[in-house]
Structure 1
Amino acid sequence: MSFEIGPLTVHLYGLMLALGAAAGVAVAYIEAKRRSENPEHLFNMALIVLPLGIIGARAYHVIDQWDFYSQNPEQIIGGAGLGIFGAIAGGVVGVLIYTYWKKINALRWFDILAPGLILAQGIGRWGNYFNQELYGYPTDLPWGIFIDPANRLPEFEEFTHFHPMFFYEFVLNITGFALLMIIGRKWRDRLRDGDIMLLYFIYYGVGRFILEGFKIEVWTLGGIPTARWITGAAVIIGLGVLWHRHRRLPPPADLDD
């Protein structure tokens, strides 16, 4: 879906992604200032993080849809479709590269970026709404979303309304954003650098693991949705690391002595 502004065509999918990215950067700027970090790093970091995030997102999508792209290799570069897990992986690599280069605390910057990241995900999901994609199985629930016949998946052409997966993820992400912002302030004296990012992985991992059960024709490994392998691992590792840091290590105050 798109609209015209003079000679310019604005695609709503891209517009929502851009708005999400802008909101994420704005939140990260606020968080950097709150933590007394130089926000200039944020804008310099973006020059590395955003391209690697886009490359990772595209790579994940292409692997996911390899049956199609193996027959249409000309669409691998420049085609539509992004995967959030690839975007996160690429972004993490970008942050690690930049923080190593500038010799600044990577874990601290992951915490600065995490709330803005999940907010950007939530806003960006509305792009899926305008493209009539990211919907689940048919439903007769009041909030089921109508999908045009041309956008219905094979074997589901006779159904009209489907689970609005984009909206479920929007609610998941916006709620997660609020939680991370509250936790980062209310328990700031008890948190270690990296805890907010761990909480992001745990929270989003649990939510996404559950939501995968509503999706149609997902990429699977061993009969299990690939996203569930990824999010399940993220939750287990995140909980393990968080437990170790707060139960097995001395309190942050003691480490500073």
Structure 2
Amino acid sequence: MLLAFQFQSPSPILFELGPIVIRWYGFLIASAVLIGVTLSQWLAKYRHVNPDLIGDLVIWLVIAAIPCARLYYVIFEWQEYAQRPGDIIAIWKGGIAIHGAILGGTLATIIFARIHKTSVWQLADLVVPSVALGQTIGRWGNFFNSEAFGSPTNLPWKLYIPISNRPVTYLNYEYFHPTFLYESIWNFLVFGLLLVLFFAGLRSAKKIKVGTLALVYLVAYSFGRFWIEGLRTDSLMLGPLRIAQVISLIMMGLGVWGLIWVYRLKHSLPDVISRSSSVDLDEF
């Protein structure tokens, strides 16, 4: 069958030489950051934004997003980490949450935009395509760690999980939904959509509003994450609720309302600077 394929992680370790150990998870995150910086700086030129500003912003984003992503995950898995507190900082073993990264990155972007007196929405538009592409790459770290998989499946496409990584309730099952792959593909489609909108907005006689790409990202990414999360066996929970699904619904709602606010009601998005203080708030 054309669509029949089986995944199995070869190892979480990419390279090992004596005490030096390079893990796939860390390598992929680092690669995603470097590729994202290059992409966002390239896009910045089309919107007449100094690429160096994006380079400075990325430092803020890394400092804020990665620790917040880890803290978010640890908080909801505290019962596990309370028993082995030494693993709290062991980010190379996996265990970061994209919603924590988004929250941390958003706060860092707002502070950065205020300091540099530029539009936070302009910066967000230039960053979100890189975020989507970074998520596309980063999800493969879950594959190499044999984590973030879905429920058992007999579909032609499936992921083999070693018994040591299986939930207790599924010890007798070998194959699971490759939810890392589902989300990686979805994120790549979101990335493609954002690039199409970006360049279509440059060529179109009717320019798109600043902030549109950020709002579309909230809606598109969250829509896919909501249904993919429903397949996973390791969701972060708050009582009976899957936290990622709750946050996804909130993000979708904010994104839809923002698009209605801008295009239907013809209002400007709230920003850290006034419209009269910068051309960043014009259409592009």
The TM-score with structure 1 as length reference comes to: 0.93
Q: Give the match's secondary structure for 1:249.
A: coil
Tell me the alpha carbon deviations over residues 126-182 of structure 1, each in whole angstroms, 9 at most, x when there is no partner: 111111111000000011111111111111111011000110010010010000000
Partner of 1:4: 15
Partner of 2:122: 108
| Residue 6 of structure 1: how far off its partner (Å) | 4.7
Give me the whole-angstrom Cα distance separating, in 2, the residues matched to 1:226 and 1:152. Answer: 21
Partner of 1:19: 31
Give me the whole-angstrom Cα distance separating, in 2, the residues matched to 1:72 and 1:10. Answer: 22
Tell me the alpha carbon deviations over residues 49-103 of structure 1, each in whole angstroms, 9 at most, x when there is no partner: 1111011101111012111122333332345421111111111111111111111
How many residues were matched structurally? 254
Partner of 2:276: none
Is the 8 Å Cα contact of residues 148 and 234 (structure 2) preserved in structure 1?
no
242-251 or 111-120, which deviates more: 242-251
Give me the whole-angstrom Cα distance separating, in 1, the residues matched to 2:208 and 2:223. Answer: 21
Partner of 1:99: 113
Tell me the alpha carbon deviations over residues 9-30 of structure 1, each in whole angstroms, 9 at most, x when there is no partner: 2211111111111121121011
Is the 8 Å Cα contact of residues 49 and 93 (structure 1) preserved in structure 2?
no
Unaligned runs of 5+ in 2: 1-11, 269-280
Q: Is 1:84 aligned to residue 103 of structure 2?
A: no
41-50 or 130-139, which deviates more: 41-50
Give me the whole-angstrom Cα distance separating, in 2, the residues matched to 1:191 and 1:3. Answer: 43
> 1 or 2 for the larger relative contact order (CA 8 Å, sep ≥6)?
2
Letter in 2 for 1:66: W
The TM-score with structure 2 as length reference comes to: 0.84
Give me the whole-angstrom Cα distance separating, in 1, the residues matched to 2:179 and 2:187. Answer: 12
219-228 or 46-55, which deviates more: 219-228
Give me the whole-angstrom Cα distance separating, in 1, the residues matched to 2:217 and 2:195. Answer: 11
Q: Give the match's secondary structure for 1:85.
A: helix
Residue 179 (structure 2) aligned to one of 150, 165, 168: 165
Q: Is 1:72 aligned to residue 84 of structure 2?
A: yes
Residue 54 (structure 1) aligned to one of 66, 73, 78: 66
Tell me the alpha carbon deviations over residues 164-219 of structure 1, each in whole angstroms, 9 at most, x when there is no partner: 01100100100100000001111344311111000000000111111111011422
Give me the whole-angstrom Cα distance separating, in 2, the residues matched to 1:192 and 1:109. Answer: 13
Partner of 2:159: 145
Residue 254 (structure 2) aligned to one of 237, 248, 253: 237
Coordinate RMSD, CA, aligned: 1.9
Equivalent positions of 1:128-207 (< 5 A) are 128-188=142-202, 189-207=206-224
Identity of aligned residues (%): 32
Q: Give the match's secondary structure for 1:187.
A: helix
Give me the whole-angstrom Cα distance separating, in 1, the residues matched to 2:262 and 2:83. Answer: 48
